Structure 1
């Protein structure tokens, strides 16, 4: 039986001329015939095999020694196979295939963004111009070694997984026969899993949660960051779930996780279900419920312009730039007008340098989208932003240092010495006016590290795994988990344990200083009986 064999962007027909003799179907000039699909190539090969069998069956026996007629001899030739007209196509490049592959995906916004980042930053620069069928296992291995020289092995492993998925989909479309990104077992160094393990996540304790949250509130000048830090440390919610926490899901003794706000690379915050559809109700201690309801009462949140919903936590600082401004951004205007962001900016600031035709398109896009330049002075941003929060609030609070940002080098947070734990100095020459700085609480701690911290605190209290998984939104598919069930006693003991941990942290903080410049924490400290 004949079959189709994959070539560079096409297929060739392979047939058996005789037992043990495999041939390739060629045209009248002896060139390999190419077909657009594997099925067409196989059909042409089978047709030619059938023709050969008919010719052999009609050939005279050796005894007659009668030569074949000229027509019969010609009949064996490939020109009489009469295969369907081949659809010869140029070899498809990896870049061409990836473009159509990505356009056909329908996944969560976060997954689409991650795939796009992997492809554009790490795969297209290496494989984009190569023919899809020409990429070999050696090419993938060389690319992987080059990436590992500049990036963490865990990141390279993630990008390798995306490449593997792309090739698997190409195989399903019959564009490839093997996956050059597939890993073969038993090959390479036997160094165990430690070579691919990322650095251990930094965690803190209950007192660390409280101190970091207090410092964040001192840096921002309001109570929101204190309540937000404590909420994250004592519920283990993900970042997007905390930013997307709507007031309607705050209950007297629980928090309902129904949505998250996922931040895309272009600054857009997408309201979408929580990761892995981890909808859940998180039990809340009485003191935590009081903190959150007090935050809502103080902030009196109004529906945001981007989603039209009320959120527990607002953004930090004024909405005075495109990254933190609610509503239509200048990048949206540029995309709508089909110009660069720089051109759209010039229309606002230097219209004389922009051609009249482009200027008219940008102005029309602004009118159609309802773009408003700037915001009212003092208007707070609608939502926290991951990078700004981590860089200018969380990291300085946890480490005592501002990160490097050109032209400034990394520097300690400048403080005025009193009252304890110090008041951040602001304004011009703040570093020269500083009298003190903070010592690190947990070097390397990140906002996501508070989620790990919450899990560590629960494990230290002996919380059942089933209850920890429910609280964190994890799914355990093991048999043990199937036979484990959560009881009211487990929930009560967890609430009591977390309350004891919280009370102990307040006592430790009060031993350092009786009061705080953070109003909500000051009330908690001074309200305790000595």
Structure 2
């Protein structure tokens, strides 16, 4: 077959040849824009390369040479500018890019990032930071390179499955069974730092599985005993639900005491203090609560006037500060007495450590709530996942719903755990 193609040209330069092919574009002066590749020693091989490029252009899979030469730093700028995520997610992505990804790849052409380059970075980041941080950075890098396909690169160099090398079992956080006695110890320490709202907040998390940001952002309008009559009704599309909530939840008679998770609070740089955001993954939900917690919340809310159900020491939003360093580290780890005096922001008595929670996150109280419900095999799996703010896939997720009997069963289980705990306390006192 003759090697004839009006869009391909072969040029010999010394002992090697170069192939040029038409990119399908025109220069400003109207002439055809060509791309090229040199270094061939066989003219047939060069011609075949040109034909392959024309095939890619016709089928929309071609990446232009100048696009492959785009600096990773420039692509990172474009990628960050185009982000459209929740505020906290964007902050996390931007931090990973600026702290780890840009310093390593910034001046590298994106077309030069191949599988071996990716592996080298993976090894580097796993040695430089902790396992969780490394996993998050690699996940973000994978998204960035995936989004460069097919505009800047044909395929992403990120390896999605591990085919070679030694097997490393993923690290998993070790969890212990959390007893009511442990929750009580944490709650008493929280009371020493935050007053009665601190005590009730710990029990609320253990009994509802709410996320920390949801607790910090909980205001009176969405908490028992005011809700649902006090609901702000901000979404006209939810009009039917608002009316159904009044028939199902509330105080007295056959109504179920409940908390409504409508938002979370997070500290941001955009405003002083904290901002409201939708719950994680848009997991708006209603959480029935057992009678003992309903009584706690009602009494506690009558004791202060803050809009926040669980206010900080000086009455503001807990999300506006650093809860971990301000409170949680001492709630779980204990602390010496800090008497009131000059330079003391939060005076407090000595508080004992809670050994079961040494080095543990507050978030594990949420995990323990699910374990408490899972222990009672009578509960609907769908009702438990809905309570945790999780979406279930498949037929079960499509056809199931949370009914009043399901909610009453959950309330009964949680109330029985509290009463069993109180009986154990009473026996300890007697003995």
1:214 aligns with 2:188: yes
Find the counterpart in structure 1 of residue 240 from structure 2.
none
Counterpart of 1:177 in structure 2 is 154
What RMSD in Å do the two structures reach over aligned CA positions? Answer: 3.9
Corresponding position: 1:426 with 2:339: yes
2:127 aligns with one of 138, 149, 153 = 149
Shift of 1:123: 0.6
**For residues 47 and 480 of structure 1, do their structure 2 counterparts lie closer, same or farther at Cα, with a shift above 3 Å needed?**
closer
What are the superposed Cα offsets for residues 166-198 of structure 1, whole Å, 9 maximum, x if unpaired? Answer: 1122124x1112212243x4622363xx62233
TM-score (norm 2): 0.72
Provide the C-alpha distance between the structure 1 equivalents of 2:212 and 2:12, rounded to a whole number of angstroms.
63
C-alpha displacement at 1:229, in angstroms? 0.7
Q: 1:186 to 1:399 in 2, by over 3 A?
A: closer
For residue 259 of structure 2, give the secondary structure of its aligned residue in structure 1: strand
Cα distance in 2 between the residues matched to 1:384 and 1:145: 38
CA distance in 2, matches of 1:34, 1:237: 61
Match of 2:111 in 1: 133
Are 2:172 and 1:198 equivalent residues in the alignment? Answer: yes
Distance (whole Å) between structure 1 residues aligned to residue 273 and residue 68 of structure 2: 39
Say whether the 8 Å CA contact 2:263–2:277 is kept in structure 1.
yes
1:99 counterpart = 2:77: yes
CA distance in 2, matches of 1:227, 1:271: 22
Quote the offset at 1:23 in angstroms. 5.6
Matched, 1:18 2:19: no
Structure 2 unaligned runs (5+)?
37-63, 228-249, 251-256
- Pairing partner for 1:284 from 289, 297, 304: 289
Identify which of 497, 501, 507 aligns with 2:413: 497
Offset of residue 482 of structure 1: 3.8
Structure 1 CA distance, aligned partners of 2:35 and 2:73?
Answer: 36
Change (3 A) 1:26 1:101: farther
- Per the normalisation by structure 1, the TM-score is 0.60
Which residue does the alignment assign to 1:468?
384
Give the one of 450, 453, 456 matched to 2:371: 456
Give the distance between the partners of 2:156 and 2:35, measured in 1 at CA.
30
Distance 2:2 2:113 in 1: 31
Q: Which residue, 261, 266, 277 being the options, matches 2:265?
A: 261
Greater C-alpha Rg: 1
The equivalent residue for 1:58 is: none
Residue from 150, 158, 164 that aligns with 1:188:
164
What displacement does 1:399 show? 3.1
Counterpart in 2 of 1:56? none
What pairs with 1:119-518 in structure 2 (closer than 5 Å)?
Answer: 119-172=97-150, 174-183=151-160, 185=161, 187-189=163-165, 191=167, 195-202=169-176, 204-220=178-194, 222-250=195-223, 251=227, 252=250, 253-264=257-268, 269-301=274-306, 310-316=307-313, 380-385=314-319, 388-400=322-334, 413-414=335-336, 424-426=337-339, 437-438=352-353, 440-462=355-377, 463-511=379-427
Cα distance between partner residues in 1 of 2:350 and 2:324: 25
Distance 2:291 2:381 in 1: 23
Residues matched between the structures, number: 360
